[in-house]
């Protein structure tokens, strides 16, 4: 059975420690090459990970005819430029979230991608492919919790290092772009629709000028979603989905461990049911699903349009926080 030959643009930790080892376990993936702007870095990573080729520039990797697809774990401000270069080089693209720095950037990438209908491109929201989220979505759609009314999510970690890429404002750092994007994405995924208006509150780090504590309210036509994300709090994550007849609670919603089972709970007025899902690697699943879409020439699990919609909500929340007003999504106006 054929495998997709992958190249990786950058030696970022998310790639070398999480995504690459996971994709190397996949049925449909083989990591053929890795690139860095410093050849020594890519050679070191290639040696550690058993990757055949190491390049000293991203351009060299994109010029390699033996590469079918590229995974892009570059800093946020480089996502769209290098995704476009990869498409122009004839490569399929799996790009880390968030897809860009602005709605305009995301729409630009979408416009370019539509010029290459045979090439696949997807934002790498790995959580969506984990069985716990597929289970939660199915139960909501089947009405197991009644009518879904509201979702509450929380995601935090502690990182006050000014040299860390997540804390650099000029390259798209900050909590909302890094982890708040998950809270937005999951609400849209579970509810199956887009919010009508949003309200955001942000607290910025006074020195680094990135948001370190952000809360948001998303108002949908028949439901709501509230979340808080933080980059200078004790690490924690949890999601609750509330319906008229029951509630779903997801214990480790985002970075689910690959070496132990995951637990979710269904609760109603009469009982608590614990569902234990077998250990799996959501990065492996993501890589295989994308690779199969390429091999079988079918749609990727999540279309790029979804990434554009998520970015629209992110930017609306930022606008709301700055103006201290609600922002209407369709009109882009404040109230």
Q: What pLDDT digit, counting tens, does each position of 95-153 carry?
A: 999 999 999 999 999 999 999 999 999 999 999 999 999 999 999 999 999 999 999 99
Q: What would you measure as the largest C-alpha separation in the chain, in angstroms?
A: 61
Average the pLDDT over 161-168 and give the result. Answer: 97
- The helix (H) or strand (E) run that includes residue 243 is strand 232-243
Gap between the Cα atoms of 195 and 27, Å rounded: 37
Q: Is 28 helix (H, G, I), strand (E, B) or coil?
A: coil
DSSP 169: G
**pLDDT at 1 exceeding the cut of 70:** no
Confidence of residue 330 (pLDDT cuts 50, 70, 90): confident
**pLDDT at 332 exceeding the cut of 70:** no
Gap between the Cα atoms of 244 and 268, Å rounded: 9
Confidence of residue 334 (pLDDT cuts 50, 70, 90): low
- Any idea what the Cα angle at residue 176 is, between residues 282 and 200, rounded to 5°? 130
Cβ–Cβ < 8 Å for 149, 155: no
Confidence of residue 167 (pLDDT cuts 50, 70, 90): very high
Alpha-helix residue ranges (DSSP H) falling in 14-126: 20-23, 39-49, 58-62, 79-88, 103-113
Share of the chain above pLDDT 90, in %: 97
Q: How much is the pLDDT for 145?
A: 97
Average the pLDDT over 222-250 and give the result. Answer: 98
Q: What pLDDT digit, counting tens, does each position of 18-31 carry?
A: 999 999 999 999 99
Average the pLDDT over 221-230 and give the result. Answer: 97
Average pLDDT of every residue of the chain: 97
Spatial CB neighbours of 279, under 8 Å, sequence gap ≥ 6 = 257, 258, 259, 260, 261, 262
Gap between the Cα atoms of 146 and 51, Å rounded: 49
Cβ–Cβ < 8 Å for 239, 249: yes
Q: What pLDDT digit, counting tens, does each position of 78-88 carry?
A: 999 999 999 99
Q: What pLDDT digit, counting tens, does each position of 238-269 carry?
A: 999 999 999 999 999 999 999 999 999 999 98
The residue behind tokens 């006074």 is: 206
Q: What pLDDT digit, counting tens, does each position of 263-310 carry?
A: 999 999 889 999 999 999 999 999 999 999 999 999 999 999 999 999
How far from 287 is each of 115, 122, 299, 309, CA to CA, in Å? 24, 11, 14, 23
Confidence of residue 215 (pLDDT cuts 50, 70, 90): very high
Spatial CB neighbours of 310, under 8 Å, sequence gap ≥ 6 = 97, 98, 99, 123, 181, 184, 185, 188
Gap between the Cα atoms of 174 and 182, Å rounded: 13
**pLDDT at 16 exceeding the cut of 70:** yes
Spatial CB neighbours of 235, under 8 Å, sequence gap ≥ 6 = 156, 157, 158
**pLDDT at 194 exceeding the cut of 70:** yes
């Amino acid at each position: 059975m054929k495998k997709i030959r992958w190249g990786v643009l950058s030696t970022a930790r998310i790639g070398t420690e999480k995504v690459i080892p996971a994709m190397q376990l996949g049925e449909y993936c083989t990591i053929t090459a890795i690139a860095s702007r410093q050849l020594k870095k890519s050679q070191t990573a290639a040696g550690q990970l058993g990757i055949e080729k190491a390049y000293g520039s991203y351009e060299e990797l994109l010029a390699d005819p033996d590469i079918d697809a590229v995974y892009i774990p570059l800093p946020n401000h480089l996502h769209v430029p290098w995704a476009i270069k990869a498409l122009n080089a004839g490569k399929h693209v799996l790009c880390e979230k968030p897809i860009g720095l602005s709605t305009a950037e995301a729409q630009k990438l979408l416009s370019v991608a539509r010029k290459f209908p045979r090439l696949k491109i997807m934002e790498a929201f790995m959580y969506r492919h984990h069985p716990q989220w597929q289970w939660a979505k199915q139960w909501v759609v089947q009405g197991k919790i009644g009518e879904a009314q509201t979702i509450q999510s929380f995601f935090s970690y502690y990182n006050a290092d000014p040299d860390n890429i997540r804390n650099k404002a000029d390259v798209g750092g900050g909590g909302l772009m890094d982890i708040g994007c998950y809270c937005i994405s999951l609400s849209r995924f579970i509810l199956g629709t887009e919010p009508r208006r949003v309200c955001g509150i942000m607290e910025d780090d006074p020195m680094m000028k990135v948001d370190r504590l952000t809360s948001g309210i998303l108002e949908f036509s028949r439901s709501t979603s509230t979340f808080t994300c933080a980059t200078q709090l004790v690490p924690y994550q949890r999601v609750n989905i509330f319906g008229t007849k029951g509630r779903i609670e997801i214990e480790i919603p985002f970075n689910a461990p690959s070496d132990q089972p995951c637990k979710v709970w269904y609760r109603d007025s009469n009982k608590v049911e614990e569902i234990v899902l077998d250990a799996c690697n959501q990065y492996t699943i993501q890589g295989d699903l994308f690779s199969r879409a390429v091999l079988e020439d079918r749609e990727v699990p999540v279309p790029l349009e979804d990434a554009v919609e998520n970015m629209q909500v992110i930017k609306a929340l930022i606008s709301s926080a700055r103006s201290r007003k609600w922002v209407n999504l369709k009109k882009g106006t404040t109230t």
